[in-house]
Structure 1
C-alpha cells in the first residue's frame, strides 16, 4: 500500500473509533462500527495489506466484545490472526525478518484471544490450536509449534485423531532434532495404543529403532516394549509388534549391527538401500546415525 493509502487507512480507522466514542458505545452503534471495521478490513485484504487487515479485524472483535457477542468476537480474532500470519509469510518469502516479530506475535496473540472465547470442552479449541501450530511449522518455527501440538493433544480424546496428532508430533520432534523426546513419544504411542493400523505401526516401530540407536538410552530406562522390539527384530521372531516385510527387517538388522560394531562404510551402504522404505524423518535419522558414526564423532 502506498503512503497515501496508508494515510487513508489510518484516517478511516480513526474515524470509526471517533464515531464510536461520540455515540457513547450504544449497542446499535457498535453494530454499525463492526460492519465498518469489516468493510475496511476487506478493503485492506484486496489491497494486499494483511497487517492493516489484521488490525482492523481486531477493531471488529472489540466491537463484538462490547456487544457481548463472544462468538463473533472469536471469529474476528481468527480473521485477524490469519491476516497477521499472511503478513509474516509475505515477509518471510522476501527474506525479511523482524527481530521484534510484530506480525508473528500479533497472530499468536489473536489465536489465543479467539481460543479463550470457547468453552474448555469445545472441539473448536483443538482446531484453533492446530491451525496455529501448522502456521508456525509453515514459517519454520517448528520448536514453537511443538508446544501447541502438545496443548492440542490434551484436548483430544477420540482415539484415531489422538493417534494422528501424536504421530505428527513425533515427526515434528524429529525435525527439531529432539531425538530423546521423540523416542519417549514413540514409546508412548506404541504403549498407549492397542489398535494401530499396520502401516502406521510399521512407521512408528522403524522410528523407535532408529531413535533408540541414536539416543542410546540406559538399559534400565528402556520400556519393556522397546527391549522386546529389538529382541524380536534381531532374533527374527514373528510378532504383530513388528509387521516389517522381509527386506525391511534385514535392512534394520544390518543397521543395528553396523551401529553396534561402528562399521561406518557398511552403514553407509545399507542406508543407501534402506531409504526407499523410510519416511523423510526416518531418512534424517539414518543420516544422523551416519554422522554419529564418523571417526570425529565416535568416542568408543
Structure 2
C-alpha cells in the first residue's frame, strides 16, 4: 500500500468515527427530547386532576390518557416510565371506585417494573433493586385488591407469578413467602394448593432448609390422604393425588436419610414412614420368626427387578428372588412401584449399615426413576456418607 493509500484510509477512519459521534449525539438528543415530551405530557395530565373552584376534574379522561401514554412508552422500550404511568392510571381507577381497572393497572405496572429489573440484570448494570421493590409493592397492592373483590384465585395466580419470577432471579428465600401465600389462598382447590406447596418445598431445598422442606412434604402427603379422591374401600388416593403422594414419599425418605434425626427428635409421622422401609416390616404373617437377610441380598433383589427391560420377566425375577430370601413379593406401600419401593428400602438399609459402596450402586439404579430434585437429594445423601457435613438434625 502506498503512502497515499494509507493517508486516505486514515482519513476515512477518522470520518467514520466523526459520523458515529454525530449520530450518537443526535440519537441522545432524540431520547432526551422524548423523555422531555413524556414528562411534559405526564405533568399536563396530572394538572387536569387538580381540584379547581367550581370545577370537577375529569378523572376518567385522565386515566385514559395515562393508559395511552403508558402504551407509547412501552413501545419505546421505556418500561419503568410506562410502569409509572400505569401507577397513575391505577390511582385514577381507585378514585372512580373501579376495582377491576385498578387491579389490572397495578398488575401491568408490576410486570413492567419486573421486566425492567430483568433487563438491568441481563446487562449486569449496577443498581439498588429499586425496580424490583416497586414490582413487589405493586404485586402486593394488586393481590390486596383481588382479595377485596373476593377473587382468591386471581390473587393466588399473582403470588405464583411473583414467586416464580423471584425463583428465576435466584432469590428462592424471598419466593417462599409468596408461594406460601398462594397456597393459603388456594384452600378451595386442593391440587393447586399442593402444587404451590411443592414450589415452596423446592425453594426450601434451594435455601438448604431441609428440615422445613421435610415438614412441607409431610403436610402435602397428609393433605392428599385427607382431601384426595379415593376409591371405596381403598385408603390410597387416586389420580393426580396419587402422583403427589408418591413424589412426597420419595422426597421424605431421602430427606430423612440425609438429616438422620435422633429418636428423641423423630416425629411420629416420620417414624411411621421409616417403619414402612424397615426390614422387620416384611416378616411373613405365617411365621413369627424374624427374618435376617443381609444387605447384599436385598440389593440383589432390587437389581434383579431393574436389570431386565421386559415387565413380565421382571415380575418373575422379583418373585423368584423374594422366595429365595423369604420375603413377600407385594410391598405394603401401594402408591409406589415395586422396583422403586425395593430400591428405596435398599437405600434405607445401606444408610443404616453405612455401606457407601452399595449406596453408590443404588444411586445409579434409582437415577432414572427420580426427578431432578430427588436425584439432588439422593446425591446429598451419598455425599453425606462420604464426607459428613454435619447439616443433619
- What TM-score comes out, normalization by structure 1 length? 0.89
User: Does residue 249 of the first structure (1) align with residue 341 of the second (2)?
Assistant: yes
- Answer yes or no: is 1:205 the counterpart of 2:297: no
Q: Deviations over 1:123-157 (max 9, x none)?
A: 22222222221222222221111011112222222
Matched, 1:297 2:389: yes
Tell me whether 1:192 sits opposite 2:229 in the alignment.
no
- Could you tell me which residue of structure 2 aligns to residue 112 of structure 1? 140
5+ residue gaps, structure 2, are 1-27, 229-236, 283-329
1:25–1:249 distance in 2 versus 1, CA, 3 Å? farther
Q: Give the deviation of 1:52 after TM superposition.
A: 1.2
Aligned to 1:287: 379
1:125 to 155, 167, 170: 155
Partner in structure 2 of residue 80 of structure 1: 109
Distance 2:114 2:370 in 1: 32
Q: Which residue of 1 aligns with 2:195?
A: 164
Kindly state the Cα deviation for residue 225 of structure 1 after the two structures are TM-superposed: 3.4
Aligned length: 299
Cα RMSD (Å) of the superposition? 2.6
Helix, strand or coil: the match of 1:297?
Answer: coil
1:296/1:129 CA distance change after superposition, 3 Å: closer
TM-fit CA distance, 1:275: 1.6
Check whether the contact 1:130–1:149 (CA below 8 A) recurs between aligned residues: yes
* CA distance in 1: counterparts of 2:104 and 2:45, whole angstroms: 20
Note if contact 2:160-2:196 (Cα within 8 Å) is conserved in structure 1: no
Q: What is residue 175 of structure 1 aligned with on the other side?
A: 206
**Structure 1: which 5+ residue stretches go unaligned?**
none
Deviations 1:267-290 (A, max 9, x none): 233212212111111111112222
Query: Corresponding residue for 1:21?
Result: 50
Aligned with residue 141 of structure 1, among 130, 147, 171: 171
By how many angstroms is 1:206 displaced? 0.2
* Deviation digits for residues 139-182 of structure 1 (CA, Å, limit 9, x no counterpart): 22211110111122222222222222222322232233211001
Query: Which deviations, in whole Å up to 9, do the C-alpha atoms of 1:200-254 show, x marking residues without a partner?
Result: 2211100000011112223244343322222222337556645222322232223
CA contact (8 A) 1:23 1:29 kept: no
Following the alignment from structure 1 to structure 2, what is the Cα–Cα distance between the partners of residues 34 and 152?
30
